[in-house]
Amino acid sequence: MFFTRFNFTLSYIPGSRNRKADALSRLYDTEERTIDPTPILPASCLVAPVVWEVDADIERAGRSEPTPPQCPVGLKYVPLGVRDRLIRWSHTLPSSGHPGVERTVRGLKGRYWWPTLAEDVRRYVSSCSVCAQCKAPRHLPRGKLQPLPVPQRPWTHLSVDFLTDLPPSQGNTAILVVVDRFSKSCRLLPLPGLPTALQTAEALFTHVFRHYGVPEDIVSDRGPQFTSRVWKSFMERLGVSVSLTSGFHPESNGQVERINQDVGRFLRSYCQDRPGEWAQFVPWAEMAQNSQRHSSTNLSPFQVVLGYQPVL
């Protein structure tokens, strides 16, 4: 009877279009319910943001090396001393997976900047030993390996290498081995540890170059001391060409590798019962090596360099 007092027309509206009335027709639940949230992934599977450990080193290095004005806004300038570590971190991070040059550059450019970023990344990635072993080659076949040139006089063509991981002796744990490829003469320089590129260059200049003159060429492996810009710049100023051995092919620097074996055998023979005293036997090892007749020349290194055989 109530609706007869009104003049109206009934029209059907589907529930999907009549949400307000549809909600009023639902049964109201007065019981309070508590729902325990269930994680979609267990805590062990949650991926946390990557923490860049080198950021602290960049901040510390930035105190002594101000940001240049050409650094783009929003990017962090990376001082020279931290760049190699940052590239290594970005390239070897498990979430990166040893990417190529372009991907490594893109990953760094989002947060960091320095003038030679792309060039430094290209140099590092091209010398990455893991990439060389694990990735399929995408380049044209390399050229044939060429033998080392034959020197024409003593101490113009050198081979250098390190003997490392020796027990501490007089504060030294490594030996810089320098070999003249003409006379087979060697110099053994004990060092407190594996040196930097600058320390290696200074040791060569102090103990070799000032006695025999600046050489024309130095052959070494691809250790960080010999691939750094400091080493190349130092040798370029002296007019010395730098030759690097083929990757994973120590035979390319066979003369110094053989001297390493002989020196190691000598030190083991005299220091097996007192390994902490090997440093005092290094001069004797050098003298013994330079006094022995070499099979390829039928002369001792002393005879080739000095013109006579010293009295032993």
Residues 241 and 117 in one domain: no
Using the 3D structure, point to which of 82, 100, 134 is the last residue of a domain: 134
- Asked whether residue 103 falls in the same domain as residue 240, the answer is no
The pLDDT score that the predictor gives to residue 28 is 62
User: Beta strands 186-191 and 174-180: pairing type?
Assistant: antiparallel
DSSP state of 69: T
- 200/295 same-domain check: yes
Residues in the chain: 312
Say if residue 289 is in the same domain as residue 166. Answer: yes
CATH of the domain at 111: 1.10.340.70
* CA–CA distance, 83 with 87 (Å, rounded to integer): 6
pLDDT of residue 292: 92
Q: Residue 278: exposed, middle, or buried by beta-carbon count in 10 A (0-12, 13-18, 19+)?
A: buried
- 3-class DSSP state for residue 144? coil
Query: 226 with 300, same domain?
Result: yes
What is the pLDDT, as a whole number, of residue 104?
92
* CATH code, domain carrying 204: 3.30.420.10
Give 20: exposed, middle or buried? Use CB within 10 Å, 0-12, 13-18, 19+: exposed
Are 185 and 310 in contact, with CB atoms under 8 Å apart? no
Give me the pLDDT at residue 62, please. 85
Do residues 88 and 223 share a domain? no
The pLDDT tens digits along the chain (312 residues) read 677 777 877 777 777 777 777 666 666 666 666 666 666 555 444 434 444 567 888 888 888 888 999 999 989 999 988 899 899 888 988 878 899 999 999 989 988 999 999 999 999 998 888 888 888 877 777 677 777 888 999 999 999 999 999 999 999 999 999 999 999 999 999 999 999 999 999 999 999 999 999 999 999 998 899 999 999 999 999 999 999 887 777 777 889 999 999 999 999 999 988 999 999 999 999 999 999 998 888 999 999 999 999 887
Characterize 285-294 residue by residue with b for buried, 16 or more Cβ atoms within 10 angstroms of its Cβ, and e for exposed. bbeebbeeeb
Q: 128 and 162 share a domain?
A: no
> Is 124:87 a contact under the CB 8 Å cutoff?
yes
Domain that holds residue 226: 157-306
pLDDT of residue 44: 47
For the chain, how many structural domains are there in total? 2
- Residue among 187, 129, 131 at smallest CA distance from 163: 187
Residues 220 and 87 in one domain: no
Residue appearing with tokens 């130095």: 218
Q: Report the distance separating Cα 224 and Cα 47, nearest Å.
A: 34
Same structural domain for residues 186 and 62? no
Q: Are residues 169 and 76 in the same domain?
A: no
**Do 112 and 228 share a domain, yes or no?**
no
pLDDT at 49: 42
